[in-house]
């Protein structure tokens, strides 16, 4: 397992860095490079990462308050190779960043209270601000709750709502209005629900107290991360009469509850491509060239690690370690327009680097 901090230190000497997933007999390889840094745009704390309109979009949170009390975030548009195209200053803490089917970029502000939405038009570079209506603000709800992430499916917009105080409070909601203020919502998944435990196959009750990332899987399901709950929830046929849920508690390789908190999950749609990964604490965004990915594979960041998730057991196997990886996005080579690398195996230079890092690690442990 390679440490992202080590990679950041040696990247200036070697542009190509390889790591092979231990125990996978060369099944998957990962070439890790620095894609962007907050210093390059005068910002700190990159978190959400999304790909759309042929560009990589990153929101740097700059320590802004998550209830909108102070500060602002910097949203940056990059080419897939890392050239800065444009940046925007958005009031508050942008913890969710998504591109809708029409190409508009949704910057979701203030996930812990007083939420708002700013939409960026990538063609004109104009921004439009939206506010939420009484279905969110009634009874003081907006003072302590907000919206963290969004997913788009069949013309519907689904969002994760944070900080439920009771089991009947929604953690996933559906936008019931078009994109015009005031935005109204209705819950589709409560904090406490009954679903299938994927590790046991049995029906059971689960409670999510810390809803976070919301991802649309290739199969058309919603995947919600319960951060403090260390659980992933899958919602099948969301918002319909046939909606069902399943869940998976996350475990370490020792089959005990993981120690770190999960954030983003990604669901590769090809055997190879790029993974863009924001290490918030390191103020770095990495671009990982991945090859040999298995069908239906899932990857997740947990605490200071980024690893593969076994959806039949919940075990997370670390691949890379950093300071605090958060936002992640998988993009195929074709989507980026970047030519596929000539060789995606662990080439001699990569092997030599892996050996050097392993040797240094052994020296430190001695």
> Residue with structure tokens 């998550």?
66
Q: What is the pLDDT of residue 91?
A: 98
Note down the domain range covering 193.
Answer: 2-365
Q: What is the pLDDT of residue 342?
A: 65
Please report the pLDDT score of residue 20 as a whole number: 39
What is the structure's pLDDT at 349? 39
pLDDT 10s digits, 276-293: 999 999 999 999 999 999
Residue 37's pLDDT is what?
98
Please report the pLDDT score of residue 7 as a whole number.
53
Low-confidence ranges of the chain (pLDDT < 70): 1-26, 342-366
Predicted confidence at residue 12, as pLDDT, reads: 32
Which pLDDT score is estimated for 5? 55
Give the per-residue pLDDT at 25: 33
pLDDT score for 305: 97
Two tokens at 193? 């629900």
pLDDT for the residue numbered 10: 41
- Report in angstroms the alpha-carbon separations of 234 from 26, 144, 157, 312: 30, 25, 16, 13
User: What is the CATH number for 20?
Assistant: 2.120.10.30
pLDDT tens profile 301-355: 999 999 999 999 999 999 999 999 999 999 999 999 998 886 554 433 343 444 3
Number of structural domains (the chain) is 1
């Amino acid at each position: 397992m390679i440490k992202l901090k080590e990679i950041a230190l040696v990247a200036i000497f070697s542009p190509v860095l390889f790591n092979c997933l231990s125990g996978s007999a060369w099944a998957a390889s990962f070439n890790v490079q620095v894609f962007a840094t907050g210093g390059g745009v005068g910002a700190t704390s990159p978190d959400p990462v999304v790909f759309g309109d042929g560009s990589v979009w990153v929101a740097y949170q700059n320590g802004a308050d998550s209830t909108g009390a102070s500060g602002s975030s910097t949203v940056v548009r990059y080419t897939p190779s890392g050239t800065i195209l444009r940046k925007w200053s958005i009031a508050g803490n942008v913890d969710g960043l998504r591109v809708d089917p029409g190409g508009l970029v949704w910057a979701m502000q203030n996930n812990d209270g007083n939420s708002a939405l700013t939409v960026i038009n990538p063609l004109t570079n104009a921004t439009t601000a939206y506010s939420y209506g009484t279905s969110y603000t009634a009874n003081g709800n907006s003072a302590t709750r907000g919206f963290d992430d969004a997913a788009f499916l069949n013309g519907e917009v689904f969002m994760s709502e944070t900080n439920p105080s009771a089991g009947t409070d929604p953690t996933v909601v559906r936008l019931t209005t078009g994109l015009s203020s005031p935005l109204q919502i209705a819950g589709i998944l409560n904090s406490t629900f009954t679903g299938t435990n994927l590790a046991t196959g049995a029906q059971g009750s689960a409670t999510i107290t810390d809803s976070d990332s919301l991802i649309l899987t290739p199969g058309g399901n919603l995947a919600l991360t319960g951060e403090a709950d260390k659980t992933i929830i899958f919602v099948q046929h969301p918002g319909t009469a046939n909606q069902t849920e399943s869940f998976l508690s996350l475990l370490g390789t020792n089959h005990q509850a993981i120690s770190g908190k999960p954030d983003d999950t990604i669901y590769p749609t090809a055997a190879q491509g790029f993974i863009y990964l924001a290490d918030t604490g390191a103020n770095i965004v990495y671009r990982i060239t991945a090859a040999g990915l298995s069908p239906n594979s899932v990857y997740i960041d947990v605490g200071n690690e980024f690893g593969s998730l076994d959806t039949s057991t919940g075990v997370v196997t670390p691949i890379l370690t950093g300071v605090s990886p958060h936002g992640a996005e998988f993009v195929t080579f074709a989507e980026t327009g970047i030519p596929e690398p000539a060789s995606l195996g662990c080439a001699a230079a990569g092997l030599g680097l892996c050996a050097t890092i392993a040797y240094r690690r052994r020296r430190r442990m001695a």
